[in-house]
Amino acid sequence: MNTESTTSLLNVLNQTSVDDLDEFLADNIYSNSASELFSKYFMSHDIKACDIVKECQGYISKSYIYDILSGKKLNPSRDNVILICLAAHMDLKMTRRTLEVFNHRPLYPKDPRDAIIAICINNKVFDIASINDRLFEHDKKLFSTD
């Protein structure tokens, strides 16, 4: 999974020949497959699917989480994707990428609810109940339970 900035990636792209196209794509482009994205992320961060289930307990059902992670569920709600990102302790960049894979808008800093969630992520506050407390304090929509 490439973590280079877009600018440096553009520099590499500008110097890539057509003959090196396959290598460039393999090394630098994220998959649009949710299951592949989660698989690579979990492997590189030593996370198991059962860890995600435990973190999301009471917010998303176990079977629904496994369906999302395996790619069987192609259109989960934006909040469910964010909950999985929180459970996986994804940073803002990876959360944005995951939301994109599911065709959801990224966290938007001008949206107060999104800003609260983003600030929590940036400060490594991944506990869903704690984030809900902050959302409640500011009269914003909470992550709902099953």
18-74 per-position pLDDT tens digit: 888 777 766 665 556 888 889 889 999 999 999 999 999 999 999 999 999 998 998
The string of pLDDT tens digits covering residues 105-126 is 999 999 999 999 999 999 999 9
| pTM for this entry | 0.80
Asked if residue 140 has pLDDT above 70, the reply is: yes
Tell me the C-alpha distance between 119 and 79, whole Å: 16
Tell me the C-alpha distance between 10 and 33, whole Å: 22
Burial of 106 (0-12, 13-18, 19+ CB in 10 A): middle
